Chains A and B, each alone.
Chain A
Amino acid sequence: MRMFHFMRYKWWFLASLSAVTLFAIISIFVVRLDLGIDFRGGVRMEVALEQTATVDEVRSTVRELGVQEPVVQSVTGPSGTSSFLITAEEMSDEQAKAIVAQLDSRYQVKEGATSTETVGGSFSRETTNRAFIAIAIAVVAIIGYLSLRFEFKFAIPAIFALIHDVGLTLGIYAASNRLVTASTVAAILTILGYSVHDTIVVFDRMRENTPLMKKETYAEMVDLSISQTMVRSINTSVALLLPLVAILIFGGPTLKDFAFALTIGTITGTYSSFFVAAPMAVLWKEREPRYRKRLLAAAAGGGVVDDEAMAAYETVPAAKAQAFSGKSAVKPKGGGGGPTAARVSPKPKKGKTSKRPAGKDSKRTSR
């Protein structure tokens, strides 16, 4: 297995993804999220028309009847119809009825194919509050659970990865002017629960590799863990993306809304595990004395005596990685010319390399 030294570039990952997250969050505040009627109160109407009509035509019909700032979207309705979702913050019952009557006379409304949803102001405020509270509780619950099962120093990086996932999802909502609905909030909460999956898979491997790799620096151990788990993390995400894509293609408006947010969250959740959660955990863990010592030892072993351990250790792990990169304890002679070895500064090392690759010995790996 080829091992890539992700952690050498941890600052790059963290800096670029922080920038992306920051940009997304700023755009949320600058462009403003388009909050749907679930949060502001208002009326949402779905109408299926027998004859084809355009969004503009429907919008002007709605405007003619005195509805301010209606949002009209074309949606997948019953087959053979052109269906529209009309949302407005203020629309009286009479106006709603007039819209249906007007659309019926112009484009013929399909029998039984209208729906109207009205949300009152106080109810929507409650929904908003509950959404915030629920997200806050979910974050605390995830921190608690990860602290319990792993450690606090893993929980916080995982949460930062989640902030990236949710921030980017909402940022895309803001940038593309999508209406945020109750379904979106449900999807966001699901993202919180789901995108931590890939992080858990990496952390689980780190938890398992830690006792096996007593000499390597923490970053090396994390690199190995990521290399070992990346493919399966991508596969689990693909397994979830497949039904989501099916929903995006075949589903109606409500389902699409769910699937859209979840699709973004699932994709970001996969890479943020490797490029946000893991690097942050490395940064934090390497402040611990024992890993600091290893870092310095690695630096010393690499022949570079320098205060800047960071710079030093980067030259070393590749050489060591070679030992376990093939997942085989004993490298056959002459087999060392792998792609990873090319980067190695072939300095002789005094430090003993652990000869036990992860996943080799079941008795040791199981707790």
Chain B
Amino acid sequence: MSRIQRDAGILVLVAILLGVAAYFAFPLSNTNLGLDLQGGLSVILEAQESAKAPRSDDGMTQAVKIIQNRVNKLGVAEPEIQRQGEWKISIQLPGIDNPDEALAIIGKTAVLEFYDVKQFGTAYTTKAEALAAAGVDSAEALPADKSVVHWTVSGGSSTDQWFLVTTPPVVTGSMLTGAQTGFDQFNNPKVDMQFNDEGSTAFSEVTGKMAETAQITGEDQRLAIVLDGNVESAPRVQEQIDGGRAEITGKFTTEEAKNLALVLQTGALPVDLKAVSQSAIGATLGKAALNQALIAGAVGLLLIIIFMIAYYRLLGVVASVALVIYGVLFLGLLNGIGVTMTLPSIAGMILTFGMAVDANVLIFARMRDEVAAGKTVGAATSAGFKKAFRAVFDCNMTTILTAIILFWAASGAIRGFALTLGIGVALSMFTAVLVTRSMLSLLSGWKPFRNSRLLGLHVPKAKIVPADEGGRS
């Protein structure tokens, strides 16, 4: 196969790739935008180690599922929930208006427990006292069979009380089959719950016993409904409750009741999750950031093209064409594999424009050397590519290496930067070397491409003494 055929083949291949890439790349609105560009909530939750809720791999997998469930019920479009590392879960919710509420729902452990208030025992005025009674100094150190319950007893001035509970709850949230919002007789929002068989039996047994005690002693018997260690409500039990239903009434707004029903439906998180990093970005700010990045990118690209053409003339034109081809291929590739573009990944992309022409600068400088040494343009072209390749390759390899290291080390959006930088530099090596060479070799038959002056290959100023071959064009 002749060289012309080979180069033409390469260009045909590039044209096909370009078509495919353009299909994926355009319109630009197809691109997946990260939260920093469209607004939304991004949270990283980390499982906390505690004796009560030991961290486990299964627990994490389950937690991801539960959170997915909750997010789906919230109705967020295109959420992203991923396990990150061993004990972290990363959650990305685009277009959330109320990040605080979303966070409260997603991260809520939602452990629901029913206690007979008699189980509570002594009331302490601070949490620390309750913990001290158990012989520990932090909630994490509490043994699995003990728990601290907080109760804001309303009545006159509200008072906070803490209790150390050493007996297991009579019914738990794991015995629920459903939860919905409803309204009580005063039209206040409430949450209705249904129990499974086990729950129904336990519930009816406990309420039966409590109703009996109430009748005998004449004292109020109260059943405390505890969510995540806080008493939500503590209704009086007057009679045995059969049928496996219960309700939580209290001081909710409709919204709060809905959210509570939602977390109860999806079940309790098996691990205790805490937000270690979160960011909520307003949609307007995101849009502004995107525009700024696009303008910066376009201006940067334009400046590079002007520089290349001013300095290398026709060669600069070829390099610019290769650069644009690179841009389209790159966008197509990113969209094709479904990379989400964030601000840092756009920064990475803009940088690769500059790095892509590096290869061309090195190659063209080599070609100048060769022309200066008396070679014809054609010979200089092939020698220039051949000799510059080693340096181009080594340069790009160091950048790819650091991009890989950065990708490994970074988290979140910076990873996007490393990804676009690494892929971009690798891809740009292909366009800047192979595509430019094929174009130049096919164009070499055309007269302007044999003129070293037009090509920008002449050495400025008459510094060069022509060597033996005098008759070059």
Please report A residues at the B interface, Cβ cutoff 8 Å. 1-2, 46, 48, 76-79, 93, 110-120, 122-123, 127, 130-131, 133-134, 137-138, 141-142, 145-146, 149, 182-183, 185-186, 189-190, 192-194, 196-197, 200-201, 204-205, 208, 228-229, 231-232, 235-236, 238-247, 249-252, 254-255, 258-259, 262, 326-332, 335, 359-360, 362, 365-367
B386 contacts A366, CB within 8 Å? yes
Decide: A239 and B282 in contact? CB cutoff 8 A: no
What mask results when residues 280 to 295 of chain B are scored 1 for a CB within 8 Å of chain A, else 0? 1111110111001101
Are A112 and B292 neighbours in the complex by a CB distance under 8 Å? no
Distance between B279 CB and nearest chain A CB, rounded to angstroms: 4
11 pairs across A/B with beta carbons < 8 Å?
A113-B288, A130-B411, A142-B402, A189-B405, A190-B406, A194-B399, A197-B395, A243-B296, A244-B300, A252-B288, A359-B370
**Contact residues in A for B397 (Cβ distance below 8 Å):** 145
Instruction: Report the 9 A-B pairs with minimum CB-CB distance, sorted nearest first.
Output: A243-B300, A193-B402, A134-B409, A240-B354, A78-B288, A232-B365, A117-B279, A246-B300, A120-B276
* A360 neighbours in B (Cβ, 8 Å): 373
A4 to chain B, nearest CB (A): 14
Query: Is residue B102 contacting chain A, with contact meaning CB distance below 8 A?
Result: no
Is there an interface contact between A251 and B100, defined as CB atoms closer than 8 Å? no
Task: Choose among B39, B301, B350 the residue with the greatest number of A CB atoms under 10 Å from its CB.
Answer: B350
Please report B residues at the A interface, Cβ cutoff 8 Å.
36, 39, 44, 46, 99-100, 274-285, 287-289, 292-293, 295-297, 299-301, 303-304, 307-308, 311, 343-344, 346-347, 350-351, 353-355, 357-358, 361-362, 365-366, 369-370, 372-373, 375, 383, 386-387, 390-391, 394-395, 397-403, 405-406, 408-412, 414, 417-418, 421, 463-465, 467
- A123 and B401 CA atoms in complex are apart in Å by 26
Q: Residue A238 contacts which of B278, B307, B412 (CB distance < 8 angstroms)? A: B307
B384 — nearest CB in chain A belongs to which residue? Answer: A362
Cα(A47)–Cα(B292), bound, Å: 16
Whole-angstrom CA separation of A193 from B36 in the bound complex: 26
A120 touches B296 (CB 8 A): no
Cβ contact within 8 Å between A247 and B347: yes
Find the residue from B279, B394, B401, B402 having the highest chain A CB count within 10 A: B402
Of A118, A239, A362, most buried by chain B (CB within 10 Å of CB) is A239
Nearest CB of B to A314, in Å: 25
A80 CB to nearest B CB, Å: 10
Q: A115-B282, A251-B296, A251-B347 are in contact. List 17 more A-B contacts (CB 8 A).
A: A117-B278, A120-B46, A122-B46, A138-B406, A182-B410, A186-B418, A193-B402, A200-B391, A236-B362, A242-B304, A243-B354, A244-B351, A245-B300, A247-B300, A252-B289, A360-B373, A362-B375
Cα A231 to Cα B366 in complex, Å, equals 11
- Min Cβ gap A336→B in Å is 12
Asked if A78 and B284 sit within 8 Å, CB to CB, the answer is: yes
Nearest-neighbour CB distance to chain A for B344, whole angstroms, equals 7
**Residue contact B401 to A142, C-beta cutoff 8 Å:** yes
Inter-chain CA distance A120–B421, complex, in Å, is: 28
Contacting pair B304 A239 (CB below 8 A) = yes
> In the complex, what distance in Å separates the CA atom of A70 from the CA atom of B284?
24
Q: Are A115 and B395 in contact (CB under 8 A)?
A: no
Question: For A362, what are the chain B residues with a Cβ–Cβ distance below 8 Å?
Answer: 370, 375, 383, 386-387
